Amino acid sequence: MLDTICAISTVLGKSAIGIIRISGFLSRNIVKKLIGDIAPKLAEISDEIVFGDIWERQELSKRDRILITVSALIAMNRSEQLPFHFNRAFENGIAQEELIEVITHLAFYSG
C-alpha cells in the first residue's frame, strides 16, 4: 500500500513538484502488475529488458541511473511517471533534498 503520494501542481506556468515518499510499491514485475492483463507481452518485455537488463547493468550505479531517469522525465515533462521514479530514487539512496535540487537545476535548462 502506498503510504504517501507525490503531488504535482502548476504555478505560474511552471511545474511545482512536491515530493513525498512512496513506499511498498516496487518490484521487478511492476509493469506486469500495471498492464499485464491488457498487454501481457509488452509487460513481459518491459520487465525483462528495462528492469531485468538495463537497471542491472554494472556500468552505472542504480543511484546514477535513477538520477538520469528522473532528470530525463522532468526535461520531457513526463510528470505522470515521476511518482514511480521518485520512489525508486528514495529506494536507491537519493534524498528528497537532492531531488528538489535536481528539479531546481533543470528548471533553467529544460523549463
pLDDT for 22: 37
100-109 tens-digit pLDDT: 999 999 999 9
pLDDT for 80: 87
- Neighbouring residues of 66: CB distance < 8 A, sequence distance ≥ 6: 85, 88, 89, 92, 94
73-94 tens-digit pLDDT: 999 999 888 998 999 999 999 9
pTM of the model: 0.67
7-11 and 14-18 strand pairing: antiparallel
- The more confident residue out of 40 and 69 is 69
